[in-house]
Amino acid sequence: MRPPAPCNVLAWRGWPDRVLGIVEDLYQRQFAEPLDLNWTRYTGGGEFLRLLEEFPTTDVIVADREITAVFALQGRLLPLWENSDLEVVRRELVYPEWLWPASVIRGPFVFGVPVRWGTTPLLVKKELLAASPTAGSGFDVRQALRDAHSFLLWSPKGYYLPSMAVLAEVICPSSPFVLTPSEFGCLSDLLHDISDCTPVVARGVGALVQGIEDARPDVITCVGEWVLEGIQEGDPSLFEAIKRRYSYVYAEAFRPVAFFEEVGVLSTTRDPQRARRIARILLSEEIRQRVRVLEAADGYASNPTWGKSDVLGPDFGLIPADRLLASCIPRQVPCGHTLQPALDLWHNAWQDFLSACP
């Protein structure tokens, strides 16, 4: 009898190599069957889509929520379970209750559940905010961006959405992913103004961390807990220096843009039962205990999905994760005011920005 074909997982960089053995071990223990697991890694949405085409036998994905939501709409994902079973499954997995609302749910079915999440705030030099006071939030982020002379923008493998989403929230805090033509024009103008300031675009985590350490940029995008926690653990004195120089801000008070990495099962999987089992293992308490953090060297040092109840909020203060999640804006595929997808529009604007950068 021929052995079963390997199960193929496509996930973001950051899962350590040892995770393969851990998942295989948990699978053997839970189901009394051997598992041969292949694990392919990506950084950024563009690389994810390219690798998915390159490896058509992929069974399980761990992808940005904006991707899993579109895949579910297109029929490219199988349901993980029914919505009515969520509470039972949550208790079985000992999964943080406050993260369930970020799941991708269509009708009665659940298609994606977060295995990692985080926010994408701005680091802004304190003197810029002090020069841009308002009566509401205490400062005018938009004015601070106008006054800034140097920028560091996060763009993993050239993925446009992380930094553009943060800037879009500055333009339209209520609906940064659904912009009118006028609002998108303001976003394009903001990118053009930033390009005139000789910005640095960090396409890898090493470049992002180096830019933070240099403390030269007036504004740095997307420096959330996922990177700051690694700095705090590795060099506490540097972390304190960052707190003295920069303010940790969201464009709209407690409504930060948040990203979610979600596990899903592709509809083309050769073995749906096995793929769903692997998805449950990746969401389980057992793997959270054995893979406490993700590898800092691969870019993602923290993982609040592991159950942390307090996360960084404005000005580096700790706030309850459920409070933040209740008001956050999940990152999603951008649309125009007619609700038609605007992926090409945003992508082209980012490419124009990159071409204008030195």
Rounded to the nearest 5°, which phi and psi values hold at 329? -110, 105
Q: Which helix (H) or strand (E) holds 146?
A: helix 141-147
The token pair at 294 is 């993700």
Q: Which region among 33-42, 135-144, 268-277, 324-333 has the lowest average model confidence (pLDDT)?
A: 135-144
More reliable by pLDDT, 341 or 304: 341
| Backbone conformation region of residue 138, classed left if phi is above 0, alpha if psi is from -120 to 50, else beta | left
What pLDDT, on the 0 to 100 scale, is given for residue 30? 92
Cα separation, 38 vs 16, in Å, equals: 13
Cβ 45 vs Cβ 244: under 8 Å: no
Q: At what angle do helices 272-282 and 18-31 cross, to 10 degrees?
A: 120
Q: How confident is the model at residue 83 (pLDDT cuts 50, 70, 90)?
A: confident
Average pLDDT over residues 68-94: 86
Percent of the chain at pLDDT > 70 equals 89
What pLDDT, on the 0 to 100 scale, is given for residue 340? 75
What pLDDT, on the 0 to 100 scale, is given for residue 348? 92
In the predicted structure, residue 297 carries a pLDDT above the cut 50: no
Q: How confident is the model at residue 131 (pLDDT cuts 50, 70, 90)?
A: low
Average pLDDT over residues 282-286: 84
In the predicted structure, residue 338 carries a pLDDT above the cut 80: no
Average pLDDT over residues 292-297: 46
pLDDT digits (tens, 9 = 90+) for 186-232: 999 999 999 999 899 988 778 888 888 888 899 999 888 778 877 88
Average pLDDT over residues 126-155: 77
Q: What is the pTM of this model?
A: 0.82
Q: How confident is the model at residue 311 (pLDDT cuts 50, 70, 90)?
A: confident
Average pLDDT over residues 9-16: 79
Average pLDDT over residues 233-240: 88
Average pLDDT over residues 52-78: 93
Average pLDDT over residues 277-283: 92
In the predicted structure, residue 295 carries a pLDDT above the cut 50: no
pLDDT digits (tens, 9 = 90+) for 156-174: 777 888 899 999 998 998 8
Rounded to the nearest 5°, which phi and psi values hold at 24? -60, -40
> Domains of the chain, with CATH numbers?
7-117+259-306 (3.40.190.10), 119-257+311-356 (3.40.190.10)
CA diameter of the chain: 73
What pLDDT, on the 0 to 100 scale, is given for residue 298? 37
pLDDT digits (tens, 9 = 90+) for 17-43: 778 888 999 999 999 999 999 989 887
In the predicted structure, residue 114 carries a pLDDT above the cut 70: yes
Cα separation, 47 vs 201, in Å, equals: 17
